[in-house]
Chain A
């Protein structure tokens, strides 16, 4: 594995030297390059070669699964379908994400379609990080799709982060939540220059006492633009909370389009959206501690996206 590969892998997984624990599958420029399975976690290439199936045995006690993707070939358009089948009462920590390095003029893109099927009582923490770098004019484009199906009592907690370097992204997340199941999403996005980021959340709360909590924190700087669309439907006694909180700077634009639909009298749905520049009082407070205005802004934004 080349040094550049290791650097990109570290950016999206926070793990040095690709030293992954548990099961893993590393995909580079459209093909798998390394894989490891464990007694409880099996990774199988789909017959049509479009992606992988990850099988986690029922009652698996806490284990890690890493499935990072890296793209270093300019002009590559990579599409992959990964399906996660999580057995009853299994508990796993899954890290996915894509790092693109593009030094050339052709656009590079990765569309990862991840589907999660959690059986009763299964528990998943899913962390997804997107990162782009490189000096070329070629765009770095990521369009992740996540579909989540939660059976009775299952929980999926998804953390998704895009901090730098992705020129264009449309991120779609769909969830179907059954009885007593919980879907928690935390999204953090920062865009700069002329970047574009669109987030689409669609969650159906179908089961009794199903719940969903979506928190989006975003910062749009330069001439970048972000759109946040969310639609939570409560079809039964359920609870949904969507919070979109955005900081805008320079000529950055953010559009938040909330939609909450209650189809049952016991559905309790909340949407909160706040968009604005950094509060002047926050800058003044940090400057009164000796920070310059620029440093104060940096501290506020990094705290906000922490």
Chain B
């Protein structure tokens, strides 16, 4: 029997009289690579934020490893093993890449270890380790650092909210290789919010959200044909 790491039960979320999530029920199994996909505005990112505690549902429950975490603050969810990579990586003043990796790892990580993590996400570690996480870094660089910052946590559930958003095609081409290697980098269960075909192609399971509801869930091979048929995802060719 599959064991589930995360369960979302009857979650509803309404803002400004718009029902963004309408009674969402989901289960995510252990050690799987799961992609949540669906059209823009379908509520995908809201689900991710509700799991991390960035948004609070109006009703319903979020259960991690059998424990109800619906009312826990973000940091306690992080302590219980949820990692979150932001759609728009957050910038800081005076905080370096090394500082973020140390904070993220929760231990006194040395520079060599930090460099190894950066190399895994395709960043030349020596050049970046002491740079500030600010606007002097490009969108692609910030994305890679964001990925590194969640990868070092070894969370049991790591969420990536639209990793393809906000970066140019060329940065995405190289970033996608990082995601293809994601299983080697990130341990535990990975949950990615995405509409990219190449990310969907590496999923074990796919969840399709439409109009704030779960439309379909299943194994990649079961879902993919239908998804492309409905043009829910963006093929790389469309970007060219």
Give the B-binding residues of A (Cβ under 8 A): 217, 245, 279, 281-282, 284-293, 296, 299-300, 302-306
Q: Which residues of B contact A300 (CB under 8 A)?
A: 92, 95
A291 and B83 within 8 A (CB) = no
Contact B86 A285 (CB under 8 A): yes
Of A245, A284, A299, which is within 8 A of B103 by CB? A299
CA distance A296 to B75 in the complex (A): 10
Q: Write out, one digit per residue, whether chain B residues 66-107 have a CB within 8 A of any chain A CB (1) or not (0).
A: 000000011100110001101010101111000110011010
Cα–Cα distance between A292 and B160 once the two chains are bound (Å) = 22
Query: In the assembly, what is the distance between CA of A161 and CA of B104, in Å?
Result: 29
Q: Are A285 and B90 within 8 A (Cβ)?
A: yes
How long is the Cα–Cα vector from A304 to B84 in the complex, in angstroms?
Answer: 24
* CB pair B95 A291 closer than 8 Å: no
A292 touches B90 (CB 8 A): no
Residues from chain B with Cβ under 8 Å of A289 in the complex: 78, 100, 103-104, 106, 149, 153
Q: Which residues of B contact A288 (CB under 8 A)?
A: 52, 54, 74-75, 78, 83-84, 86
Pair B94/A287 contact, Cβ less than 8 Å? no
B75 contacts A282, CB within 8 Å? no
Would you give the shortest CB distance from A209 to chain B, in whole angstroms?
A: 25
17 contacts between A and B (CB under 8 A): A282-B90, A284-B74, A285-B86, A285-B90, A287-B78, A288-B74, A289-B78, A289-B103, A289-B149, A290-B75, A290-B78, A291-B75, A293-B75, A296-B75, A303-B95, A304-B94, A306-B94
* B interface residues with partner A (beta carbon < 8 Å): 52, 54, 73-75, 78-79, 83-84, 86, 88, 90, 92-95, 99-100, 103-104, 106, 149, 153
Contacts A291-B75, A292-B75, A293-B75; A286 near B93 (Cβ below 8 A): no
Q: Give A292 to B73 CA distance when docked, in angstroms.
A: 9
User: Given B54, B83, B106, B153, which contacts A284 in the complex, CB threshold below 8 Å?
Assistant: B54
Which chain A residue has the least Cβ–Cβ distance from B104? Answer: A289
For B106, the chain A residues whose CB sits under 8 A away are 289-290
Once A288-B74, A288-B83, A289-B149 are accepted as A-B contacts, the answer to whether A282 and B92 lie under 8 Å apart by CB is: yes
> Which A residue sits closest to B49, measured CB to CB?
A284
The 3 tightest CB contacts between A and B, nearest first, are: A303-B94, A303-B95, A285-B90
Contact of A303 among B79, B92, B149 (CB under 8 A): B92
CB distance from B51 to the nearest CB of A (A): 11
A303–B93 contact, CB under 8 A?
Answer: yes
Cβ–Cβ contact B79 & A245, under 8 A: no
Q: Known contacts A284-B74, A299-B95, A303-B99; can you find 18 more A-B pairs with CB under 8 A? A: A217-B93, A281-B88, A285-B90, A287-B74, A287-B78, A288-B74, A288-B75, A288-B83, A288-B84, A289-B78, A289-B103, A289-B149, A290-B106, A299-B103, A300-B92, A300-B95, A303-B92, A303-B93
The residue on B at minimum CB distance from A245 is B93
B95 touches A287 (CB 8 A): no
Bound state CA distance, A281 and B88, in angstroms?
A: 10
Q: Residue on B with the closest CB to A305?
A: B94
**What is the bound-complex CA distance between A300 and B91, given in angstroms?**
11
Q: Which residue of A lies closest to B149 (CB)?
A: A289
CA distance A292 to B94 in the complex (A): 20
Complexed CA–CA distance, A216 and B87 (Å): 31
Alpha-carbon separation in the docked complex, A291 to B95 (Å) = 15
Name the CB-closest residue of B to A291. Answer: B75
A293 to B: closest C-beta gap in Å: 7
Residues of A within 8 A of B75 (CB): 287-288, 290-293, 296
**A290, closest chain B residue (CB):** B78
